[in-house]
Structure 1
Amino acid sequence: MTSFKLTDELLARIAQLIENQKDSALVSLLEEVHYADVAEIANELKVDEATYLIKLLDSDKTSDVLTELDEDVREAILSNLSTKEIAEELEELDTDDAADIIAELPDEIVQEVISEIEDKEHAKDIVDLLRYDEDSAGGLMAKELVKVKENWNVLTCVKEMRSQAENVTRVHSIYVVDDEEKLIGRLSLKDLLTTSTTSPIRDVYIPKVDSVNVNEDPEEVAKIMSKYDLEAIPVVDEIGRLVGRITIDDIVDVIKEEADKDYQLAAGISQDVEADDSVWELTRARLPWLILGLFGGLGAAAIMGGFEEMISKHAILFFFTPLIAAMAGNVGVQSSAIIVQGLANDDLKGSVGNRLIKEMLLALLNGLILAAILLLFTWFWKGDFLTALAISISLIAVIIVAGFIGTFTPLFLDKRGIDPAIATGPFITTSNDIFGILIYFWIAKLVLGI
């Protein structure tokens, strides 16, 4: 497939066609364009132009376009559509995507939109999904799936599968349930095709099937699907009844959102924001950590003030302060990043004590190598071995402490149910700066005998 590229010329041409109401030319131009690319175009158009486009094109395409739009653009377009037009779009979507869009609508029109959906079974499924928390497997799942009953024979099973598959975009698996709709297994297409049409499904289905509860956290669902390389996973309720399935495309969105959130936390941004958000929203997201950094800097300055006499006698110590602070911050962030990554991927093995010991040994080895380089450099530069030794020993201690803090903090936060990604950002850098400066001057004072 040829890669789509949105250009200013194409945007201008589409805007011109919309202005002149050249509907047939617009349809012809966008007929072979993927819905995700149409969404990219709509995101760049004016709201009234994007609305015109949505109303013009067929709902089987524009419904998917709506799911790909930026949230603010989609909200603006939906506000320009009638409840009947919105309902027509939702009828073309899988229930999970339709429920997501309905959840964004004003409360006063939700019921009216649902009542306009002609397929009452589809409407019922959407309403059913709306009762689940959006941050749960139930809020992530779709109702569309193919299921068969264990007491059917193969012939009945095939007929039912044909009927059900009409409403399913992609058939990843065939699930087997009992008479109470409880999930008991899955069906191999190969076994189905090679078995007598009169054989009961209970004789050929595979009883082993991975599933998740409706209340499961989406991140846990992502871990399970990643671990077992699943394209889809069934969702069961509290008593084991099959109520939906989650597909890989939904999990990719979860992983992306979590990665974006962790990246922002690591950068010192306390809430989910985008570049196009208002100055006030961006300020609210960034300011808390900047204030923390300010107080951290003031704390480091106060600590240095306590060693003013020593600094006046050994001014060289002052020049190495940025190096000590930088090394403390770097080592802390490196250690915490590895731990956070391990926690996210569920790769951490062994006890917390063993993990801390390993990081301490790693920090000691790195500290010795870096301290040796620093000792030689400072000694040859200033010719003062004792001062060079004091700075080098301080560096080793600072690196070990920073490694400990960088390892322990995310583990501690994770145990307390707090996102450990916080530990890879300004939190670790600031705390290690303060401890690093304190340790640096304290050890230097001991070695230099001041």
Structure 2
Amino acid sequence: MTPFKLTDELVEQIEQLIDSQQNTELVKLMDDVHYADIAEIINELNEDEATYLIKLLETDKTSDVLTELDEDVREAILKNLSAKEIADELGELDTDDAADIIGELPNSIVQEVISEIEDREHAKDIVDLLRYDENSAGGLMAKELVKVRENWDVLKCVKEMRAQAENVTRVHSIYVVDEEDKLKGRLSLKDLLTTSTRTHIADVYIPKVDSVNVNEKPEEVAKIMSKYDLEAIPVVDEIGRLVGRITIDDIVDVIREEADKDYQMAAGISQDVEADDSIWQLTRARLPWLFLGLVGGVGAAAIMGGFEEMISKHAILFFFTPLIAAMAGNVGVQSSAIIVQGLANDDLKGSVGSRLIKEMLLALLNGVILAAILLLFTWVWKGDFLTALAISISLIAVILVAGFIGTFIPLFLHKRGIDPAIATGPFITTSNDIFGILIYFWIAKIVLGI
């Protein structure tokens, strides 16, 4: 299968077919195109063209297309669809995707859309999902699953599974519940096929099954599924009843969104934005951290102003200021990045104290090696051993402090329930710049006896 490639020629061809309303040719062209690729095409069309194409194609395809569209494009299309048309699209989707789309609709039409969904059980499941916080396992799960009761025999179990499987896109697991729908375990398909039809499920099911509570954070669900290589995980309520399942495709979305957010935060962008957002939105996301950088720069300049006399006597100290600031920022970002990654992957072992000691030893080793190189270079270049020694000792101290700040700050933020990714960007760089320059000139003043 040749990978799909969106070209300007293809987009232009589709626009021409829409403009001339050549519906037969348009449907034929889209017939073998995957829904994710159709979504990529629609993202390039204007609002009227996108709506036209969605209305033209069959709902069994366009419903999946809607889930893949950029949020602003989907919002524009849904605005041009009637409540009945939206309901028809939702009727083809799994409950989790349907609930996500309904959550984006204006409150004024939500009830009307739900009332237009023909499958009342499907509508009931969607409404049930809407009551969960979107930032929870309940808000992430789907209601579609296959479950059997422990008191059924194998024959009845197979019959019930066939009926349930009609509404499930992919059967990852067969869950076993009791009469109160409390999760008891899972059923192996192999055991089901090789067991007598008269055998009760209670005698063959596997009691051990990983599950998550409806209130669990999506990030924690992602960690569990990643750790145990799960394709799906059941979700239970506060009293242990099976209420849904979360599949790997939803977790991939969670991981991607979390990675995007952490990357932007590390780059000094305080809000979730995209390249196509307005200039005002992008400015609001970037300006706070740029302002912090400005404050840090002014602070560093003020500190240097306090050592103006020393700089005038030893001008060489001024030339090494960018190096000291850069090393402080780099070491701090490196340390914080390792800690944040460890926290995200739940890989950090031992106490905070042991982690700090390890980072300090690492910073000391790196500092000594770099300082020795700098000492030799400066001494040979300027022939002033004492000044070279002052700069080199300052470098070791700055690296140690930067390593401490880069390690301690993300651990501290994590303990306080604040996303530690904030500590990998301008926050660490700016704070280390200020402390680094202050330490640099202070040590230089002591060593040079000024």
TM-score range, shorter chain: over 0.9
Report the Cα distance in structure 1 between the residues aligned to 2:437 and 2:4, rounded to whole angstroms.
53
Report the Cα distance in structure 2 between the residues aligned to 1:397 and 1:406, rounded to whole angstroms.
14
For the residue of structure 2 that corresponds to 1:243, the secondary structure is: strand
Report the Cα distance in structure 1 between the residues aligned to 2:437 and 2:6, rounded to whole angstroms.
51
Percent identity between matched residues is 88
Report the Cα distance in structure 2 between the residues aligned to 1:57 and 1:163, rounded to whole angstroms.
29
Equivalent in the alignment of 1:375 = 375
Ranges of 4+ aligned residues in structure 1 off by more than 4 Å: none
For the residue of structure 2 that corresponds to 1:205, the secondary structure is: coil
Deviations 1:10-43 (A, max 9, x none): 0111111111111111111111100000000000
Report the Cα distance in structure 2 between the residues aligned to 1:133 and 1:422, rounded to whole angstroms.
24
Report the Cα distance in structure 2 between the residues aligned to 1:18 and 1:278, rounded to whole angstroms.
28
Equivalent in the alignment of 2:20 = 20
Report the Cα distance in structure 2 between the residues aligned to 1:21 and 1:197, rounded to whole angstroms.
57
For the residue of structure 2 that corresponds to 1:387, the secondary structure is: helix
Deviations 1:212-249 (A, max 9, x none): 00000000000000000000000000000000000000
Report the Cα distance in structure 2 between the residues aligned to 1:283 and 1:18, rounded to whole angstroms.
37
Deviations 1:117-173 (A, max 9, x none): 000000000000000000000000000000000000000000000000000000000
For the residue of structure 2 that corresponds to 1:167, the secondary structure is: coil
Equivalent in the alignment of 1:387 = 387
Equivalent in the alignment of 1:45 = 45
Equivalent in the alignment of 2:270 = 270
Equivalent in the alignment of 2:94 = 94
Say whether residues 1:3 and 2:3 are aligned partners.
yes
Bigger shift: residues 14-23 or 173-182: 14-23
Segments of structure 1 that go 5 or more residues without pairing to the other structure are: none
For the residue of structure 2 that corresponds to 1:44, the secondary structure is: coil
Report the Cα distance in structure 2 between the residues aligned to 1:215 and 1:134, rounded to whole angstroms.
10
Report the Cα distance in structure 1 between the residues aligned to 2:410 and 2:324, rounded to whole angstroms.
22
1:337 CA displacement: 0.1
Report the Cα distance in structure 2 between the residues aligned to 1:12 and 1:299, rounded to whole angstroms.
54
Matches within 5 A, 1:250-329: 250-329=250-329
Q: How much is the aligned-residue C-alpha RMSD, in angstroms?
A: 0.4
Report the Cα distance in structure 1 between the residues aligned to 2:373 and 2:60, rounded to whole angstroms.
66
For the residue of structure 2 that corresponds to 1:148, the secondary structure is: strand
Report the Cα distance in structure 2 between the residues aligned to 1:346 and 1:397, rounded to whole angstroms.
30
For the residue of structure 2 that corresponds to 1:246, the secondary structure is: strand
Equivalent in the alignment of 1:133 = 133
Equivalent in the alignment of 2:171 = 171
1:187 CA displacement: 0.2
Equivalent in the alignment of 1:79 = 79
TM-score (structure 2 length as normaliser): 1.00
Report the Cα distance in structure 1 between the residues aligned to 2:103 and 2:295, rounded to whole angstroms.
41
1:2 CA displacement: 1.5
Say whether residues 1:209 and 2:209 are aligned partners.
yes
Report the Cα distance in structure 2 between the residues aligned to 1:278 and 1:14, rounded to whole angstroms.
27
Equivalent in the alignment of 2:189 = 189
Deviations 1:166-200 (A, max 9, x none): 00000000000000000010000000000000000
Report the Cα distance in structure 2 between the residues aligned to 1:136 and 1:271, rounded to whole angstroms.
20
Report the Cα distance in structure 2 between the residues aligned to 1:42 and 1:122, rounded to whole angstroms.
28
What is the one-letter code of the residue matched to 1:448? L
For the residue of structure 2 that corresponds to 1:176, the secondary structure is: strand
1:46 CA displacement: 1.0
1:102 CA displacement: 0.4
Report the Cα distance in structure 1 between the residues aligned to 2:277 and 2:252, rounded to whole angstroms.
24
What is the one-letter code of the residue matched to 1:10? L
Report the Cα distance in structure 1 between the residues aligned to 2:63 and 2:131, rounded to whole angstroms.
22
What is the one-letter code of the residue matched to 2:3? S
Report the Cα distance in structure 1 between the residues aligned to 2:291 and 2:281, rounded to whole angstroms.
16
Equivalent in the alignment of 2:161 = 161
Equivalent in the alignment of 1:413 = 413
